[in-house]
Chains A and B, each alone.
Chain A
């Protein structure tokens, strides 16, 4: 998800090709080509420019609707609906060949990862592992990070593990019986935190953790654009 205004100019993008299975876009206004995953202009008058990332989540519709009941949803275009993906599209895609392979960390090309770039580091988390662990506590660069699985057991958000006003990196832990309100707690303030990373009880009530951008992507694609990435749980 990108902000499509750059240097005061609003751009209109079109699908324009593919580069090692990550697609290219081209803007109408300047004819510049952009890489979808990185938001970088790679050919044309704006080459070298960089689109600004807009924070987004990949959620189940139910999870999103519970958080944003007055939100709006993109409509289907009926004449193309027959071409839309089935619910199990990611299972089908897992069988599709890749043109790049990075057989590292015992990962296969189409292992689904959650990739995070933050605090000078690049790190990938095996998606299934995060779903199993429910709450992952890790570090990126000098900063603690939390990966939190939502009440739907399918959606994941990433937060910086620091609470304003609290010295150091507090410990967080998953509550034994998570409710719709509080999924996890912190040991420093005794506060309960929800899936939006906001405290709903305790001393920190009303405060929110800083959410970090994360990308759900296949290993080969994440690794191709993040050559120095490390992998959670696969340290050498």
Chain B
């Protein structure tokens, strides 16, 4: 039980430890952290199932209340790690604009000296104020029939 919980904790914590702002990321550790990150949802889900099975087994085999409590705590932690593995902490810090909306330029209240990132695709002109996209960082959009992603 402890071993699988450690695997689960590592899966959640290691990418967060490596991939954080104002820290230098080495190429090797970044590659490892991204691999862990890609598979941690599945890993932690399997651990949670294993912990639940182990917990049930403990309850059957170990009548002592402390053993049962520890087994239950282990299963709960495993479930918590499985949930945390699916949380995108970066989007908690910088909320996405999942359904971007747009207004006509003539109706915008932006000051003239505000900076924008501007594109024109198939005759359609679109502007993304930097004050917005420097927060959201990623805007999935379709301009002039072309799927684009504005990033900053």
Chain B 82-96, CB-CB to A under 8 Å as 1, else 0, gives 000000101100111
User: A residues within 8 A CB of B137?
Assistant: 15, 23, 36
- Please choose the segment from A64-72, A106-114, A162-170, A180-188 that sits at the chain B interface, where 4 or more of its residues have CB less than 8 A away: A64-72
When the two chains form the complex, which single residue of A4, A67, A69, A99 contacts B24, counting CB atoms closer than 8 Å? A99
User: A residues within 8 A CB of B148?
Assistant: 1-4, 54
User: A residues within 8 A CB of B34?
Assistant: 17, 24, 33, 42-44
Check A3 against B147 for contact (C-beta < 8 Å).
yes
Residues of chain A in range 8-51 having any CB-CB distance to chain B below 8 Å: 10-21, 23-25, 31, 33, 36, 42-44, 51
Given A13-B140, A85-B135, does the pair A58, B115 have CB atoms closer than 8 Å?
A: yes
Given A1-B149, A13-B140, A15-B96, does the pair A64, B127 have CB atoms closer than 8 Å?
A: yes
- Please choose the segment from B1-9, B48-56, B68-76, B116-124 that sits at the chain A interface, where 4 or more of its residues have CB less than 8 A away: B116-124
When the two chains form the complex, which single residue of B19, B88, B128 contacts A74, counting CB atoms closer than 8 Å? B128
User: B residues within 8 A CB of A14?
Assistant: 88, 91, 96, 138
User: B residues within 8 A CB of A18?
Assistant: 19-21, 25, 90
User: A residues within 8 A CB of B108?
Assistant: 61, 65, 73
Check A64 against B116 for contact (C-beta < 8 Å).
yes
User: A residues within 8 A CB of B111?
Assistant: 61, 87
Task: Judge whether A77 is part of the interface by a CB distance below 8 angstroms.
Answer: yes
Beyond A73-B108, A74-B128, A84-B134, 5 extra complex contacts between A and B, CB < 8 Å? A1-B148, A4-B148, A74-B150, A80-B136, A89-B134
Check B95 against A80 for contact (C-beta < 8 Å).
yes
B interface with A by C-beta (< 8 Å)? 15, 19-25, 30-31, 34-35, 37-38, 88, 90-91, 94-97, 100-106, 108, 110-121, 124-140, 146-151
Q: How many residues of A contact B (CB 8 A)?
A: 61
Q: Is the interface of B mostly helix, strand, loop or mixed?
A: mixed
Check A43 against B102 for contact (C-beta < 8 Å).
no
8 pairs from A and B in contact (CB 8 Å cutoff):
A18-B21, A18-B25, A19-B25, A33-B38, A42-B31, A60-B113, A80-B136, A84-B134
Check B96 against A74 for contact (C-beta < 8 Å).
no
Check A24 against B147 for contact (C-beta < 8 Å).
no
> With contacts defined as CB atoms under 8 Å apart, how many contacts are there between chain A and chain B in the complex?
218
Residue among A3, A65, A99 with max Cβ neighbours from chain B (10 Å): A65
Given A16-B90, A19-B30, A74-B133, does the pair A55, B21 have CB atoms closer than 8 Å?
A: no
User: B residues within 8 A CB of A80?
Assistant: 95, 97, 135-136
Compute how far the CA of A99 lies from the CA of B20 in the bound complex, rounded to whole angstroms.
11
Check B112 against A61 for contact (C-beta < 8 Å).
yes
Compute how far the CA of A99 lies from the CA of B120 in the bound complex, rounded to whole angstroms.
35
When the two chains form the complex, which single residue of A17, A33, A68, A100 contacts B118, counting CB atoms closer than 8 Å? A68
Compute how far the CA of A148 lies from the CA of B128 in the bound complex, rounded to whole angstroms.
22
Check B138 against A68 for contact (C-beta < 8 Å).
no
